[in-house]
Structure 1
Amino acid sequence: MATQQLRKHVLAAAVSAAVFAPIAAAQDAVVLDKVQVTADRRVENLQDVPVSVSTLSGENLDVLASGGADVRFLSNRAPSLNIESSFGRAFPRFYIRGYGNTDFRLNTSQPVSLVYDDVVQENPILKGFPVFDVEQVELLRGPQGTLFGRNSPAGVVKFNSVKPGEDVTGYGKVSVASYGGINAEGAIGGGLGEGWSTRLSGLYQHRDNFVDNTYTGEDNAYEGYTEFAARAQLGYASDGFDALFNVHARDLDGTARLFRANMIQPGTNKPVAGFDRDKIAIDGQNSQDLSQFGANARLRWRFDGFDLHSITGYESVETYSRGDVDGGYGASFLPVSGPGLIPFASETADGIPEHSQWTQEFRIESNSDKALNWQAGVFLFSEDYQVESFSYDSTFGGAQDGYQRIRQTNDSWAVFGATTWDVSDAFELRAGVRYTVDKKELTVLDYWNTGFVPCVLDGKCTLSQLAALEPDGDLSASPEDKKVSWDLSGTWTLSDDVNLYARVATGYRGSSIQSAGAFNAKSVASPETSTSAEFGVKADFWDGRARLNASVFYYEVKDQQLTAVGGSNNANILLNAEKSTGQGFELDFQAYLTDNLLVTLGTGYNDTEIQDKNLAVSVCAQCDVTDPLDGNGKALIDGNPLPQAPKWTHSLTARWSMPAGDGAEFFVFTDWVYRSELNFFLYESVEFTGASMLEGGLRVGYSWNDGSRELAVYGRNITDELAILSGIDFNNLTGMVNEPRTVGVEFKAGF
C-alpha cells in the first residue's frame, strides 16, 4: 500500500511537470527573482547552498498570515514542516522531517531551533513571536549543529526582519474579518543622516470570542484574543563598521486552547455526529496571557581580509495559561457529567513568572575572493527561569488543590569553525565542526497537592515529604553534556543553472529534565545525537522562468528523547529510544506558466520509525490501541512512526493577474495545503490517529499605483474543513480542532 501511494504521488508530480513544461517554455518575458539566504551565516544565492532550504517571503507571507493567523500558519507550507500546539497561539511545537517533540511542559526543549534576527529563541514560549514586517522565513532541514548549535538536530526555522535603510519606506495594512476580527500592521523607516537609519514596526490583532459554553449558558465565551507586538530598529553603517540594534515586545491576552471532551467517535478517528466547533460544555476556567520583551545588538567590524561579528541577545517572557483539560463538566461519580464519559475532573494551569535568556556570539570570517574562505567563533548561552504548575478542582468551584514551582538554569558555551574551499571551478567543498558544553540544573522550590499526595501541615507538602515519595529521594537534577557536531558537504556545478550537492551532518540535543508531579516521578533524558545524509539538485530552467530544488535524505537519531504524554495514569515521562530513523524526499518547484500566472508546488515525503524492541508506554483510558501490549498493559512502540509526523505534505499556490493599465491589476491568489494522517502519541490507536486534511485559501483583489495600493477580499480555510489536530488521552476521547473558515477584507498601502 505504501509503495502504491508513493507511486501515485510521484506520478502526480511528474504529470504536472510534463503539462507545465511546454506552457512555460513558450514564454520568454518574466523571470524568477534570485533568492538570497543566510543558511551558512553568509548571504548567498539559495541555489549555491548545499543544504535543503525552503523560503517564504513577500506576498506569500502576507496571504498566509491573513486574518490574524499566528506562526502556525507556516505548518506544511514548506515541505516536511509541521507545527502544532496544545497552548494555542502561545507555544508552537515544530517538526522537520517528522522529527520534533510533543512535550507540553514549559521547560521542555525541542530538536527544531528557531532563530529570530540571528538570536536563538530557546524557550518554547519565545518561539510563538508574531510574524510581521518580516523579509523572509528560511527553513533549513537536517542537523545544523555546527553554525547554529545544540538543540538543532532536526533543523532550523530562521526569521529575518526587514532591516532599516537610507530610503524612506514603509507600509500599513488593516483588515476586518469574521468573528469581529481586526488586524492592523505597519512599518516606517528611513535614514537619519550620518550613517544612521531606523525602522519602527507594529502589529495589532483582535478576535471576539465566538464559542458558546452550553454548560454555563454563556454565549461567546472562548477563542477570542487581543495581541500587540512591536519592533524598533536602529542601524548604523560606515566604511569599516556596521551596527544594528533591535528592541521588540509582545503582549497577548485571550483564551487558552479548547479541549473538547469525547468529540471523537469511538472506533473511528472522526468527530462525533453533530459536532459543532462553535459550542463546548465545560465547568472549568479558561484564560491565557503572555508578555515578552527582547533586545539585541548585531555589530560588524570590517578589516582587510576578515570581518568580526558580535551578536548580543536578551529575551524575557512571562506567561500564564489555564484550561479545562478533561474538556467537559462534572465526573462519572457525580450526579451530572458530560459530554460522554468523564472519569474525573482535570483543570490545570502553567506559567512562567520569571525568565531571562542571554546569548553572546563572537564570530570572525574571511571576506576575500580566494579559493579558501573560513569562519570561526565562540558562543555563550545562559538561561534562568521558573515554571509554575497549578491544579484546580472544577467540581468545587475551581478551588486550587495543587501547586509546583521549579527553577531551571541552562548554561552553555561552544567553539566552532567552518571552511569553504573552491577545489575547482566545478567543485566546492564545505566542512564545519563545533564543540559544545551544556549544563542544566533543575530544582523544585515548592510543591503541594491535596488531591493525590497524603500530606499534613495544612495540606501542604514540604520538600522533605515530597522527597520521601520519590524513588531516588532526590528532586533536583544537574546533567552536564559535552558534544562534538560536524558537517561535510560538496557542490558540483553542472552548468550555470544546475548544481548537485551532497551533505552529511551531525547534531545533538542536550539532556532534558522533567520534574516530579502528582502522577509521575522525576525523569531525566540523556542527550540525543543525530546523523543525516542528503543528496540534492538545484536547478533554474526555462530561461529563468522556473526553479526546481529537490533532495532525498536519510537520518538516524540515537537515544532520541521521547515524551510519553498522558496515558491512563496521566503521567508525563521522558524516555530515550534506542534509535529512530527517517527517510524521504522534498521538492520545491516555482514557475511562471505565463507572464501573468505564477505557480509554486511543495512536496515532502517522510517515513519515520522508532526502533526499540523493549520500549513500552502507557496507553489511553478509552481508545482502541492497535499496538501489542506487554505484561503490564503498556504498548510496545517498536516500529511505530514518530508522533505528529505525516508521511506526505503538499502545498500549492497559484497567482493569476490581469493588467488594468497605469500600474494597476486585478489578481486572484489561491493556496492549498494537504497533510496525510499522523499519530498523536507514541502508541498507535484508532481514535488518536489524525485523519488527512486539506485546507485552502483564496484572495481576490485590485492593486494600483504600481502595487503600492491594494484592496482585497480573502478567505482562509475556505471549505471550512474540520480536522482533529491533536488529543488528550488520559481521561476520555478529548480532541483539539483547526481554525474555522475566516473571511475578510483588507486594504494595504506602501511607500
Structure 2
Amino acid sequence: MIKLSKMHKRVLALGAILPIGSAFAQTDAATTQPQLETVTVTAQRRAENIKDVPVSVTMLKDEKLDTLLSGGQDIRFLAGKVPSLNVESSNGRTFPRFYIRGYGNTDFSSFASQPVSLVYDDVVQENGILKGFPVFDVEGVEVLRGPQGTLFGRNTPAGVVKFESAKPNLDKIEGYYSASVATHMTSSVEGAANIPLSSEWAMRVSTLRQHRDNFVDNTYTGQNDALEGYNEHAERVQFLYKPSTTFNALFNVHSRTTDGSARLFRANVIQKGSNNLVDDYDFNKISTNGLNFQNLKTNGANARLSWDLGSVKLFSITGYEGVDNYLSHGDIDGGTPSGPGIVPFQVETAGGIDYLKQYSQEFRVESKNAGPLNWQTGVYYFKENGQAFSDTFDTTSHALASHLVSHQNNTAYAVFGSVTYDVSSDFSVRGGLRYTHDQKDFRTVTAWNVTQVGATSVEESKNKANWDLSGTYKLNKDISAYARVATGFRAPSIAAASSQVPITVADAETITSYEAGIKADLFNRRARASLSVYDYDVKNQQLTVVGGNSNVTKLINAAKTIGRGLEGEIEGFVTPDFKMSFSGSYNFTKIEDPNLYVAKCAQCTITDPIGSNGLVSINGNPLPQAAKWIFNATARYNWPLQNGNLFVLTDWSYRSKINYFLYEAKEFTGKPLTEGGLRLGYNWDGGKYEVAGFVRNILDKQQAIGAIDFNNLTGFVNEPRQFGVQFRGGF
C-alpha cells in the first residue's frame, strides 16, 4: 500500500473539489504546491491569458460566482463585487443600470441608452430591459473597464460586462443540478444537461427557477404578506453542429418570464436633514394605497458560425432579442393621503413596453499568422424597433388617468478593424479603428389625456470614428505592463414628452481615456495581482434630470466630465488549504459645466449653490451612483477529510457613499454600504456533490440605496439578511 504524506492528501483533496470549485487551484507536481489556474478572457475578441490583455478586466466564474448567486439574486448581485462596477435599479429585478468607473446613466425611461454595454453570448443587449437576463449555467462573467468601442457592438464608452454561456460538447453526457431554499421561502433551482446527439451534433439544455413568497405587510389595506415576492424562470437550449475541424455552428434559443412585486417606494423613509432611515422603519411593513406589480416576458435566439479557412478564420454572429411584454406598476409617492409623513399629492404610475424587436448581424475575419503581424476586421449591423408607454392613474379607483405611447426605430452600422504586431518577443502593440453610423426615429403614437408640449416626432443621426492604441511589455515571464489610450462614443438619446416637458434629445457624447497597468503571476503562480490607473474626459455627457417638483424626466448634456482612479486585485494561496483575494478601486468623477442647472427636490436639504432662478448648480458634483471607493475580500479554508472536504468561505464588499441624483442633498446621499456573506459546506465523491449553508448580508445592514425625486423623502432600501441551504450535484 502506498502511504501518502499530509501534503499529498491536501493536493488530492484540492483536486477532488475542482469539478465544483474549479477556480480554486491547479497543482505543481514537482512541488505539490497549489497553483492558480490560468484565466482566459476574450476582451480582445480572441481567447487570451488575462495577463497578456492590455485592458483592465476582471473574470468571475465557478465557485465565486455560485456563492454570490446562491440566494436567488438577480443581476444586481454584481454591484460592488468587482473594482469600479456598480449596478442599481429603481424597477427591482428588471431594468438594471450599470456604471463602470462612475460612468453610467440613471435614465429609467423605456428607450434609455447606457454607456456600459452588456454582451450575452456575443450579442449586445441594448435596451435596459434586456440587460436583466438571469445569470445561470455560464462559463464566466468578464468586466471590461474603459472604452471598448472598436471591437464590441455599440455604445461602449464606459466598458462592457460580458457573459458567456457554458457550451455544448460532443464528448459525453454531463451536467449539474442545484437547489437552494432561504429566508422568506426564497428558492432557486437550476440545472443543465449536455447531450451528444451524434458524432456531429450536441445539445445543452439549461433552466432556472426562482421564487420568493410575499412577506411585506401593507398596513394601509391590512393585508399581510402582500408584497416583495417574485417568480422567475428562464430557459436556454443550445445546439452544436461540428461536422469537421474547420467548421462549427452554435445555435442558441432562450427566454425569460418574471412576475411579482415592483420596487417598493417608501414615503418619507429618510429622516429630514440626514440620510438615516426614520426611527420606526420596518422592512416588513409598508403603507401604500397604490397598486404594485410587474411582469415581463422576453425571448431571443442567436447563431454563431465559424469557418477555419487556413490562413484566416471567418465568424458570423446573428442575433435576435425580443420583449413580448413588460409592465411595471407602482406607487410613485410611496404612501397614502394620511402618510406616512407629508405626501403633498398622490401619484400612481406604470411604464412598460408593448413590444421590442432587436436584430444584429456581425461578420468578422481573423488572421492566423505565425509571424508577428495579426489582424481582425469586420462589419456590424444593428436594428431596433419598439413601442413603449407610460401611464398615470387615479389613486382612489386606480382608473387610467393618462396614456402616452412612444415608438422608436434605431438603426446602426459599423466597420471595424484591429491590428496586433509583435515588435519583439517581449513587446507587442495593438491598434483598432471603428466607424459607426447611428440613426434614431422617435415619435409619439398616442397621447390620451396628455397635452404634449412641442414636436411629436424627432429624427437624429450621427457618424463617428473611434480608435484605440495599446502596448504590452513583458518584464519577465511572470510580469507584464501595458498602456492604452482609447476613445468611445454614445449615440444621441431621445426621451419621451409629457404634459410639462417636450421630447428631449441629448447629443452624442465622446470619451478619451488613458490607462496603464501591470499584471503579474507571483510565487510560482500561487498568487496573481494586477494594478491599473486611468484618466478620462467625457465631452457632452448625456445626463438625466428626474423629478424636482414634478414627476417628469428630461435629457441634458454636460459640457465636460472628468474621471480618474485606480483598480487593484490580488488573489492567492496563503497555505495549500487557505486561499484569499482582495480587490479595490478609487473612482473620482466631476461634472465641469458652470452653466448647468437642474430643478431641486421639494423636501430635501440642498447642499449645492442655488441660483436666482431657484435652480441648483451641479458644477463640480460627482456623477450619480459613482462610489469613490469599492473594496472586496474573500477567504476560503479547506479541511481534507477521509471521504470529502469541509470548507468555509466568506466574502465581503464595501462601497463608499453615493449621490442618487445630479444635485447633492443631505437626504439623497446614500450611506456607505458594507455587506458580507458566509458559506459553510461539504463536498464528496471527487467533488461531484456539495451541500452548504449560507447567509447573505450577514450584518443585516438596512439602509436606503435609492430615492424618488418627487414630492417627499421617498426612498427604497437594500435586501435584508438571508439564511439558506444549497445542494449541488454533477453527473
TM over 0.5: yes
Stretches of structure 2 lacking an aligned partner (at least 5 in a row): 1-30
Match of 2:423, SS? strand
Letter in 2 for 1:115: V
Match of 1:133 among 109, 132, 137: 137
Match of 1:90, SS? coil
Match of 1:719 among 687, 692, 699: 699
Q: Distance in 2 between matches of 1:338 and 1:260?
A: 10
Q: Distance in 2 between matches of 1:138 and 1:723?
A: 29
Question: Number of aligned pairs?
Answer: 698
Conserved in 1, the CA contact under 8 Å of 2:141 and 2:162?
yes
Match of 1:666 among 646, 649, 653: 646
- Aligned residue runs from structure 1 range 359-370, under 5 A: 359-370=360-371
Conserved in 1, the CA contact under 8 Å of 2:550 and 2:711?
no
Does 1:316 find its partner at 2:322? Answer: yes
For 2:43, the equivalent position in structure 1 comes to 39
C-alpha deviation, 1:240, in angstroms: 1.3
Letter in 2 for 1:405: V
- Aligned residue runs from structure 1 range 474-513, under 5 A: 474-513=455-494
Q: Distance in 1 between matches of 2:525 and 2:329?
A: 52
Match of 2:665, SS? coil
Superposed CA offset, 1:277-316 (max 9, x none): 1110000000100001000000001111000000000000
- Aligned residue runs from structure 1 range 293-372, under 5 A: 293-317=299-323, 318-330=325-337, 337-372=338-373
Conserved in 2, the CA contact under 8 Å of 1:285 and 1:322?
yes
For 1:6, the equivalent position in structure 2 comes to none
For 1:707, the equivalent position in structure 2 comes to 687
Letter in 2 for 1:697: G
Letter in 1 for 2:107: D
Does 1:142 find its partner at 2:143? Answer: no
Match of 1:689 among 652, 669, 673: 669
Match of 2:67, SS? helix
Conserved in 2, the CA contact under 8 Å of 1:186 and 1:203?
yes
Q: Distance in 2 between matches of 1:689 and 1:194?
A: 59
Q: Distance in 2 between matches of 1:497 and 1:518?
A: 62
For 1:10, the equivalent position in structure 2 comes to none
Superposed CA offset, 1:63-117 (max 9, x none): 0011110000011111000000000101110000000000010110000000000
Letter in 2 for 1:343: P
Conserved in 1, the CA contact under 8 Å of 2:157 and 2:489?
yes
Does 1:538 find its partner at 2:491? Answer: no
Conserved in 1, the CA contact under 8 Å of 2:638 and 2:648?
yes
For 1:680, the equivalent position in structure 2 comes to 660
Q: Distance in 2 between matches of 1:360 and 1:581?
A: 34
Superposed CA offset, 1:428-485 (max 9, x none): 0000000000000101000123xxx5xxxxxxx6xxxx3xx42xxx111110000001
TM-score (norm 1): 0.92
- Aligned residue runs from structure 1 range 462-481, under 5 A: 466=452, 469-470=453-454, 474-481=455-462
Q: Distance in 2 between matches of 1:226 and 1:544?
A: 43
For 2:245, the equivalent position in structure 1 comes to 239
Q: Distance in 1 between matches of 2:397 and 2:225?
A: 21
For 1:383, the equivalent position in structure 2 comes to 384
C-alpha deviation, 1:123, in angstroms: 0.5
C-alpha deviation, 1:190, in angstroms: 3.2
For 1:16, the equivalent position in structure 2 comes to none
C-alpha deviation, 1:200, in angstroms: 0.4
Which aligned runs of 4 or more in structure 1 are off by greater than 6 angstroms? Answer: none
- Aligned residue runs from structure 1 range 597-746, under 5 A: 597-662=578-643, 664-746=644-726
Q: Distance in 2 between matches of 1:723 and 1:668?
A: 28
For 1:177, the equivalent position in structure 2 comes to 182
Letter in 2 for 1:683: Y
Q: Distance in 2 between matches of 1:161 and 1:273?
A: 45
C-alpha deviation, 1:626, in angstroms: 0.4
The 1:661–1:368 alpha-carbon spacing in structure 2 relative to 1, beyond 3 Å, is: farther
Letter in 2 for 1:314: Y
Match of 2:641, SS? strand
Letter in 1 for 2:228: E
Q: Distance in 2 between matches of 1:518 and 1:222?
A: 32
Match of 2:252, SS? strand
Q: Distance in 2 between matches of 1:438 and 1:221?
A: 45
Superposed CA offset, 1:137-166 (max 9, x none): 000000000001431000000001101112
Does 1:151 find its partner at 2:158? Answer: no
C-alpha deviation, 1:518, in angstroms: 2.6
Q: Distance in 2 between matches of 1:341 and 1:553?
A: 45
Q: Larger deviation: 568-577 or 431-440?
A: 568-577
C-alpha deviation, 1:393, in angstroms: 1.6
C-alpha deviation, 1:38, in angstroms: 0.4
Letter in 1 for 2:417: G
Does 1:205 find its partner at 2:210? Answer: yes
Q: Distance in 1 between matches of 2:691 and 2:245?
A: 42
C-alpha deviation, 1:28, in angstroms: 6.2
C-alpha deviation, 1:273, in angstroms: 0.6
C-alpha deviation, 1:719, in angstroms: 1.2
Q: Distance in 2 between matches of 1:378 and 1:575?
A: 32
Conserved in 2, the CA contact under 8 Å of 1:646 and 1:677?
yes
C-alpha deviation, 1:425, in angstroms: 1.0
- Aligned residue runs from structure 1 range 158-169, under 5 A: 158-166=162-170, 167-169=172-174
Conserved in 1, the CA contact under 8 Å of 2:124 and 2:153?
no
Q: Distance in 1 between matches of 2:89 and 2:32?
A: 45
C-alpha deviation, 1:400, in angstroms: 1.1
C-alpha deviation, 1:571, in angstroms: 2.6
Q: Distance in 2 between matches of 1:571 and 1:181?
A: 35
Does 1:221 find its partner at 2:226? Answer: yes
Q: Distance in 2 between matches of 1:596 and 1:196?
A: 41
Stretches of structure 1 lacking an aligned partner (at least 5 in a row): 1-26, 331-336, 454-460
Match of 1:580, SS? strand
Letter in 2 for 1:360: Q
The 1:183–1:547 alpha-carbon spacing in structure 2 relative to 1, beyond 3 Å, is: same
Match of 2:35, SS? coil
Letter in 1 for 2:247: F
Letter in 2 for 1:325: I
Does 1:66 find its partner at 2:96? Answer: no
Identity %: 54
Aligned Cα root-mean-square deviation (Å): 0.9
For 2:549, the equivalent position in structure 1 comes to 568
Conserved in 2, the CA contact under 8 Å of 1:622 and 1:729?
no
Match of 1:139, SS? strand
Q: Distance in 2 between matches of 1:239 and 1:643?
A: 50
Q: Distance in 1 between matches of 2:191 and 2:496?
A: 43
C-alpha deviation, 1:46, in angstroms: 0.4
C-alpha deviation, 1:579, in angstroms: 0.3
Q: Distance in 2 between matches of 1:307 and 1:661?
A: 49
C-alpha deviation, 1:569, in angstroms: 3.0
Superposed CA offset, 1:45-71 (max 9, x none): 000000000010000111001111000
Superposed CA offset, 1:145-188 (max 9, x none): 00014310000000011011122220001111110112100000
Q: Distance in 2 between matches of 1:630 and 1:571?
A: 21
Conserved in 2, the CA contact under 8 Å of 1:29 and 1:595?
yes
